[in-house]
Chain A
Amino acid sequence: MAALWIHAVEQGLAYGIAALGVFLTYRILKFPDLTVDGSFVTGAAIASILLVQYGVDPFTVLPIAFVAGGIAGLITGFLNTRLGITDLLAGVLTMIMLYSINLRIMGRPNLSLLRVPTVTRVVDAVWSPLGSLAILAFIAILTLAIKVLLDVFLQTEVGFALRATGDSEPMITAQGVNTKTMKILGLVVSNGLVALSGALVAQYSGFADVGMGLGTIVTGLAAVIIGGTLIRSSRVGWMTLGVLLGSLVYRVAVILALRYGYVIGFQASDLKLITSLLVILALVVPYLRERRLRKVSAC
């Protein structure tokens, strides 16, 4: 059972990187960006073809995937800010384009990584003294490093301008900041992170598939909102921590549903229902406790 919890945390953190990307657009920029369902696969596709066809080092493909995702974000940003297409539609259009582009990158809809070295396999071999914790340790270090980098970035002058663009566009325009450039920058970094997550998840899973991005926006948003509910803070560091926590809650819910769902008589087809009920539980318990505390203090 311990192994299962380790896997849940591994997945929570690996998908957490994508959730940080969604956080950047949805929470910071207030830009509902649907590009991510496509850019997640773009990262996986670039990573896989480089590993399979060109024998590139599995760690090197991660930053390359980030760049590829960034280009996807650039396209959405260009469509929105330069061609005046609304935010939702710009993201949808890029996402649809990416479906064909991802197929072009991979050359086929499914690329197996079962017989090439991947980050998880290399880490498993090199960090073998850590045993079953090796992969978890690697993913945790990578994800937390990205979280800290993102925190630092959002504290810089550019980062402040980015946050201000989401908070109050007219005000920051009056300050002489080009909000269009800020939006593009945010979309580039966001989709870069999502693609990096895709590259990591593909290596973790042992394959890349053109359909694997489906629902990235949904689970990413779920992580952002769960995180925002569990950790209420306007400090960037706490907010990003909350996002990772939210991503963990979701994966733990999936594992719990899989492990114990059938014990209490649920069928395989009930999985998504149980998962969502568990997430609701995770959200409601702190809410109810808070309300009770407020009532007590009101007395």
Chain B
Amino acid sequence: MKRFIAVVLLSLVVVSVGFSAASAPLRIGICKIIEHPALDAVEQGVIDALTAAGYEEGVDVEYLIASAQGDFSTAIAIAQNFKAQNVDLVVAIATPTAQAAVEVFRGSDTPIIYGAVTDPVGAELVPSATDPSGNENVTGVSDMVPVEAHLRLLKELSPDINTIGIVYNPGEANSAILTEMALAAAPSVGVTIVTATADTTANVPLAAQSLVGRVDAFYVTTDNTVVSAIDSVLAASEEAGVPFLMADPTSLAQATLAAGFDYYEHGLTVGQIVLDVLSGVGTDEIPVTYQPSAEVHLNLDAAERIGFVFPASVVDQASAILYGGIIWERQSP
């Protein structure tokens, strides 16, 4: 009998806990700086990761989704709104949104998880990339592009590739740092970097054209300005008859080859950090997570147009190829 009562009591506790959880869903604020395919994909990835882990939208979790629509003052207002509405956790996508959230939530214990931030230490979101003990309420995932690996990949295409042209917008924080990294890594890879800058999308074609005849390959990182006019870079590389590497596989159709990760996967990684924090892991226990990226995609159609043949070593690495207008994925063994 005693045991029976204990079971009844226990089940009552379980049920009431279950009910209280159901009646007050978790509130997560997600903000991004602007509507952009990559940032939208991160947002979707976060939500899908949580859904897959059993957080049903509207039942277990409520999302407050906001976009600053390119306006920096709105990024601050969004963070202030999240704070006023007592969200349980903030997901901040892109550097300025993350900085705004950190400033507004200063001194509070609401966790802030950032994504699509290239250099979280340079942006002062966290004090150290490896030691999380000083993180306070902030942690997240960096979308740092492995620039050096990309330069090596270009060098692997042909030993004749000695000069690599980069088109970028010096006004984009992420782009500026990736270009700096390329310049720093170039001597050890054995290449020379030539840059051409475009401050607006309209100036990208001119910048790309300025490199024709001066470089043996084109390289573009995750530069939002340049990506918006990516076709003009491909046109310039084809005019020069040299390969063009794009650090984003979603743009494969507009490049000779692409390497890197998909931003949806990046969102899933951010979502995983969110789940870790929700399960009780402290933000000061999670160091900066770097998005693993190893995928190489080849565009055989574009290579054919410039009469370029990929060496076997690169073909072996490829996880997908674009041929005859169709993307062929490598089947996992």
Contact indicator A204/B76 (Cβ below 8 Å): yes
Interface residues of B (CB under 8 A from A): 35, 64-67, 69-78, 80-81, 83-85, 95-96, 99-100, 102-103, 122-125, 127, 170-173, 176-177, 199
Task: Verify B171–A210 contact, CB threshold 8 A.
Answer: yes
Supply 14 A–B pairs (Cβ within 8 Å), ascending by A.
A3-B80, A4-B81, A7-B80, A15-B73, A99-B171, A103-B171, A108-B173, A112-B99, A219-B73, A254-B77, A259-B85, A269-B69, A271-B66, A272-B69
B124 in contact with A4 (CB, 8 Å): no
Give 7 nearest A-B pairs by CB, closest first: A206-B103, A112-B124, A110-B173, A207-B99, A4-B84, A212-B72, A109-B173
Whole-angstrom distance between the Cβ of B144 and the nearest chain A Cβ: 15
In the complex, are the beta carbons of A271 and B74 less than 8 A apart? yes
For A258, give its contact among B70, B81, B171, B199 (CB under 8 Å): B81
Among A115, A262, A271, residue most surrounded by chain B Cβ atoms (within 10 Å): A271
Contacting B at CB under 8 A, from A212-257, are: 212, 214-215, 219, 251, 254-255
Contact between B102 and A209, CB atoms less than 8 A apart: no
Q: Indicate if A60 sits at the interface (CB-CB under 8 A).
A: no
Q: Mark A1-16, 1 if CB is under 8 A from B, else 0.
A: 1011001100100010
Q: Which residues does chain A contribute within 8 Å of B65, judged by CB atoms? A: 262, 267-268
A55 proximal to B (CB < 8 A): no
On whether A205 and B67 interact (CB within 8 A), knowing A99-B171, A99-B199, A109-B170, the answer reads no
Is A114 at the interface (CB under 8 A from chain B)?
yes
Q: Mark A98-114, 1 if CB is under 8 A from B, else 0.
A: 01100100001110101
Q: Which residue of A103, A108, A255 contacts B77 across the interface (Cβ within 8 Å)?
A: A255
- Write the chain B residue with the least CB distance to A1: B84
Whether B77 and A211, one on each chain, are in contact in the complex, defined by CB atoms closer than 8 angstroms, is: no
A242 to chain B, nearest CB (A): 21
B172 A205 Cβ-Cβ under 8 A:
no
Q: Is the CB of B84 within 8 A of A205?
A: no
User: Once the chains are docked, how many angstroms separate the CA of A1 from the CA of B177?
Assistant: 39
Known: A1-B84, A11-B76, A114-B124. A209 touches B69 (CB 8 A): no
Bound Cα distance A108, B123 (Å): 11
What residues on B are CB-neighbors of A262 within 8 Å? 64-65
Contact A211 B72 (CB under 8 A): yes
In the complex, the answer to whether A251 meets B176 with C-beta atoms within 8 Å is no
For residue A255, which residues in chain B have a CB less than 8 angstroms away from its CB?
77, 80-81
Cβ-defined contact, A103 with B96, below 8 A: no
Given the complex, which residues of A lie within 8 Å of B77, measured CB to CB?
7-8, 11, 251, 254-255, 258
A262 vs B81: C-alpha distance in the bound complex, in angstroms?
12
In the complex, the answer to whether B102 meets A114 with C-beta atoms within 8 Å is yes
A201 at the interface (CB under 8 A from B): yes
| A103-B171, A205-B103, A251-B77 as given contacts; A112 in contact with B123, CB under 8 Å | yes
**Chain B hits for A108, CB < 8 A:** 122, 173, 176-177
Q: How far is the CA of A4 from the CA of B86 in the complex (A)?
A: 12
CB-CB under 8 A for A205 and B69, given A115-B124, A258-B77, A269-B35: no
Query: In the bound complex, what is the Cα–Cα distance between A4 and B95 (angstroms)?
Result: 23
Q: Is there contact, CB below 8 Å, between A201 and B73?
A: yes
Within the complex, what minimum Cβ distance (angstroms) separates A216 from chain B? 10
Within 8 A of B (CB), among A1-54: 1, 3-4, 7-8, 11, 15
Assess whether A209 is in contact with B173, with CB atoms less than 8 Å apart. Answer: yes
The docked-state distance in angstroms from the alpha carbon of A209 to that of B94 is: 13
Contacts A4-B80, A114-B124 given; indicate if A206 touches B74 (C-beta within 8 A): no
Complex CA distance for A271 and B123, rounded to whole angstroms: 27
Min distance, Cβ B57 to any Cβ of chain A, angstroms: 13
